[in-house]
């Protein structure tokens, strides 16, 4: 008799887990892993702010006509799950892969999230997503750009952002448009984590394709107290272009050190990350006028379609600053994940995974300047692309592709300290 009762209870619990959320729970819980403390706390906080705005767009009505057509951002919760609301459960990775791994385990085992998102840093994303894969939980990554994240044969991992191979090829295509000065000799300065190492690999691949020469390969330890030796190597190599892959504290340290040593590369071209962080722009921006970075977002592209402007205006009204390429991707990631959960009509992980596989959002349904969101067999969005921006005045402006450039006087070269 006891066995029959126990079997009945277990069967009821299993059925509740796969029922639509309106039948089991009015809240759909998603786990989010980001560096909310430590050297990347400023970045992590910006990512959290954008995700909070995405949740607000999903759960609460807004009257801005610019949002019309944006997938799931209609303020009605998840209609196919009885209007269930999205709830994000945040965990702090502190920027450490081993903590990100433990965060993922806790979110799955104790918080019972139906999906995971994060973790900004590629090396943290790698460990956290491994736990999700082992448990059969969908993992939507919106910001990490290391190509190998979608080369692991995972079935539960999906990435909306373009990867570094796309971004680095975009850089080479941009450099081909510069006729006023040489761009053949390249130095790569990168932190020795997944993000930096994979940036270097991509530069090496596409430098060869675009007939450029790498004259310096300068790896450094993340969060180093000094980068004097690295700057000396960079200056000695005399590159035409210095490509940096650094998070915010390292990016700021490199700028200070290069200024102190009175060295400036003719072109300073960043692989996003720390160079677009709001803290970097506010503190370093006046000094690095003319610095270039790849990105996926810029304030001046918001004129391309009403939704981009509407989203940026909402974020600015709430937080006193515009979106950037880091957190705009985070916002889009939550919208894509919520859209898939809604189409699944269920909180069952397998149903969510199938809906993610079937995702096919057009440019008009997303809040990024991309052709859309559609995943290949490896879980990589094939519709994303990058921009090249230049620091000009209080922030960055788009210089490539030309179709997004709003200031004909840009780019201004060569780079020099202000």
Residue 138 lies in a domain: yes
- pLDDT mean values, one per 10 residues, the chain (418 residues): 40 43 69 96 96 96 87 91 97 97 98 97 97 98 95 98 94 96 98 92 96 98 94 98 96 97 97 91 95 93 87 95 94 98 97 98 93 97 95 94 89 93
What does the angle CA 169 – CA 172 – CA 175 come to, to the nearest 5 degrees? 155
User: In this structure, are 310 and 254 located in the same domain?
Assistant: no
Does a structural domain hold residue 416?
Answer: no
User: Is 411 part of a structural domain of the chain?
Assistant: no
pLDDT of residue 236: 98
The token duo for 316 is: 């600015």
Q: How far apart are alpha carbons 404 and 101 in whole angstroms? A: 39
Check whether residue 207 and residue 255 sit in a common domain.
yes
247 and 392 fall within a common domain: yes
Q: Which two tokens stand for residue 187?
A: 């130095």
- Residue 5 included in any domain: no
Establish if 142 belongs to a structural domain. Answer: yes
Strand blocks (E) in 272-371? 292-295, 360-362
Cα separation, 203 vs 207, in Å, equals 6
Query: Which among 172, 178, 175 has a CA at the least distance from the CA of 205?
Result: 172
316 and 331 co-located in one domain: yes
Q: Are residues 28 and 147 in the same domain?
A: yes
71 & 132 share domain: yes
Q: What is the pLDDT of residue 286?
A: 94
φ, ψ of residue 74 to 5 degrees: the values are: -115, 5
Same domain, 47 and 155: yes
Whether residue 201 is preceded by a cis peptide bond, meaning omega within 30 degrees of 0, is no
Find the DSSP H helices in 36-158: 41-59, 97-109, 122-135
**97 and 156: one domain?**
yes
Range of the domain at 237: 165-295+387-404
Do 21 and 138 lie in one domain? The reply is yes
Burial code (b: 16+ CB inside 10 Å, e: under 16) for 358-391 equals ebebeeebbbbbbebbebeebbbbebbebbbbbb
8 belongs to a structural domain: no
Pair 265, 400 in one domain: yes
- One domain, residues 87 and 179: no
Angle 349-357/325-344 helices, nearest 10 degrees?
110
Give a yes or no: residue 415 inside a domain.
no
Q: At what angle are helices 41-59 and 306-319 packed, to 10 degrees?
A: 120
Tokens of 300: 């001046």
Domain-located, residue 417: no
Q: How many domains does the chain have?
A: 2
**Any idea what the CATH number is for the domain that residue 363 is in?**
3.40.50.2300
What pTM does this model have? 0.85
Residues 258 and 181 occupy one common structural domain: yes
């Amino acid at each position: 008799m006891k066995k029959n009762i126990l079997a009945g209870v277990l069967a009821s619990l299993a059925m509740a887990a796969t029922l639509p959320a309106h039948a089991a729970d009015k809240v759909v819980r998603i786990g989010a892993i980001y560096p909310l403390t430590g050297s990347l706390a400023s970045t992590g906080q910006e990512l959290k702010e954008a995700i909070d705005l995405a949740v607000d767009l999903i759960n609460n009505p807004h009257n801005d006509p610019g949002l019309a057509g944006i997938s799931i951002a209609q303020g009605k919760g998840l209609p196919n799950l009885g209007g269930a609301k999205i709830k994000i459960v945040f965990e702090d990775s502190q920027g450490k892969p081993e903590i990100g791994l433990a965060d993922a385990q806790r979110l799955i085992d104790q918080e019972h999230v139906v999906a995971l998102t994060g973790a900004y840093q590629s090396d943290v994303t790698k460990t956290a997503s491994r736990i999700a894969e082992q448990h059969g939980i969908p993992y939507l990554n919106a910001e990490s750009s290391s190509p190998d994240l979608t080369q692991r044969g995972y079935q539960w991992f999906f990435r909306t952002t373009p990867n570094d191979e796309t971004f680095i090829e975009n850089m080479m295509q941009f450099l081909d448009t510069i006729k006023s000065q040489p761009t053949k000799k390249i130095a790569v300065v990168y932190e020795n984590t997944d993000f930096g190492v994979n940036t270097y690999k991509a530069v090496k691949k596409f430098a060869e394709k675009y007939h450029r020469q790498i004259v310096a390969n300068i790896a450094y330890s993340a969060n180093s107290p000094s980068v004097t030796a690295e700057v000396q190597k960079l200056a000695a190599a005399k590159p035409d272009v210095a490509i940096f892959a650094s998070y915010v504290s390292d990016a700021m340290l490199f700028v200070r050190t290069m200024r102190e040593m009175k060295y400036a590369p003719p072109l300073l071209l960043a692989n996003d990350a720390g160079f677009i962080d709001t803290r970097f722009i506010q503190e370093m921006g006046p000094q690095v006028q003319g610095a270039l970075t790849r990105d996926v977002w810029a304030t001046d592209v918001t004129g391309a379609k009403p939704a981009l402007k509407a989203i940026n205006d909402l974020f600015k009204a709430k937080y006193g600053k515009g979106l950037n390429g880091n957190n705009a991707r985070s916002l889009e990631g939550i919208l894509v994940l919520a859209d898939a959960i809604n189409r699944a009509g269920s909180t069952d992980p397998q149903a969510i995974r199938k809906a993610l596989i079937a995702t096919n959002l057009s440019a008009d349904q997303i809040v990024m300047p991309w052709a859309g969101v559609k995943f290949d067999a490896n879980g990589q969005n094939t519709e994303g692309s990058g921009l090249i921006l230049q620091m000009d005045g209080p922030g960055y402006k788009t210089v490539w592709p030309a179709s997004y450039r709003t200031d004909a006087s840009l780019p201004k070269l060569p780079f020099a300290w202000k």
